[in-house]
Amino acid sequence: MEIFCKETLHKGKPTKIDCVDIRGQTFIISKGFLTGLALEEEWYEDIVDPQTVISALPSSPVNIDIFTFWQRLPKIEPRYNYYKEFEPLAVLPIKSFDYWWDKQIKGRTRNLIRKAEKQGVHVAETEFSDEFIKGMTEIFNETPIRQGRRFWHYGKDFETIKKQFSRYLFREHVIGAYYKKELIGFMMIADAGSFALTGQILSKIAHRDKATNNALIAKAVMVCEKKKFPYLVYLHWGTGSFAEFKRRCGFERTLVPRYYIPLTVKAKTALMIGMHHGVKGILPVSLKERIKTLRAAWLERIHK
């Protein structure tokens, strides 16, 4: 088993990661308190045989502490006897646009989508053209702070954005929201095989009165119906207003099993006390929310 290096994006920045190939699947090696192993494309492919991976690890040149994987939609009934925890994803079952409009969202969300249309917002599938990238660049550089934290893509120029976001176009559908020919929001949804996945959704704060993100979700539902995706997944469920936005758009909090296989005494001990998630794993939820609030206030203050 040989380790090789790949470049990926982490928090919006190119990052070198160590990888290994096991029976035709690529796994990434993460360094930290524990050295972990996980499927690189876990959003996009199912693990073939976890036991084969475990059996191959003794020959690894790196001492792996813990191996983790999860089950993707729609097969989320636990299949394995390893230690597991359940991760909450935001999942929107897709039957049809009409069913979503009539049954899965409330009047308030419908009114916001109507408001966007009345104010002149036009949403459509589009191409990843230079004009579109220029609009993305303007949106990314509108503000250094989003959702109470430093925005990963702030400060990037046209060429950087073009390079970073073109690498996955082979599986993505691009949606743009326009107001008087100005790109004021965009969304990328990726083909993950058994579901569609939101890769990016963002809109201009200067046009926040136009309910752009609601209009983008509505168009995404249309795309999913056309492409016959049974689900639209908006990553993890989250907390606060972000989770509330997903709920109002019809997403459901859906638990999927993630397995953790400790391979060393250190990992077994960490698993017992919750340290397999790092320091964050042992902090109370109330304290983590308080830290987020303080961080947001501090960032807001220094960027005034």
Question: Can you list the alpha helix ranges (DSSP code H) found in the chain?
Answer: 50-56, 97-99, 107-118, 130-140, 158-166, 212-227, 240-248, 265-273, 285-302
Asked if the structure places residue 211 within a domain, the reply is yes
Instruction: Give yes or no: residues 32 and 128 share one domain.
Output: no
Considering the domain architecture, whether residues 116 and 219 belong to the same structural domain is answered as yes
pLDDT averaged over 10-residue windows placed end to end, the chain, 304 residues: 72 75 91 91 94 89 92 94 96 98 96 96 96 96 79 89 91 96 96 93 93 97 97 92 93 97 94 82 64 61 62
Let me know if residue 240 belongs to a domain: no
Question: Which residues does residue 67 pair with via DSSP β-bridges, in sequence order?
Answer: 37, 261
**Residue 133 belongs to a domain:** yes
Would 154 be classed as within a structural domain?
yes
What 3-state class would DSSP assign to 159? Answer: helix
Q: Do 33 and 114 belong together in one domain?
A: no
**Pairing mode of beta strands 13-22, 25-30:** antiparallel
Answer yes or no: do 102 and 157 share one domain.
yes
- What residues make up the domain containing 196? 95-229
156 in a structural domain: yes
Please indicate, yes or no, if residue 247 is contained in any of the structural domains. no
**Contact present, 168 and 199 (Cβ < 8 Å):** yes
As given in the structure block, the two tokens for residue 165 are 């976001």
Residue 70 lies in a domain: yes
Q: Which of 229, 248, 281 is the last residue of a domain?
A: 229
In a domain, 251, yes or no: no
> What's the domain count of the chain?
2
CA 242, 244, 245, 249 dihedral sign is positive
Task: Tell me which DSSP letter residue 160 carries.
Answer: H
pTM of the model as a whole: 0.89
Residue 192: CATH number of its domain: 3.40.630.30
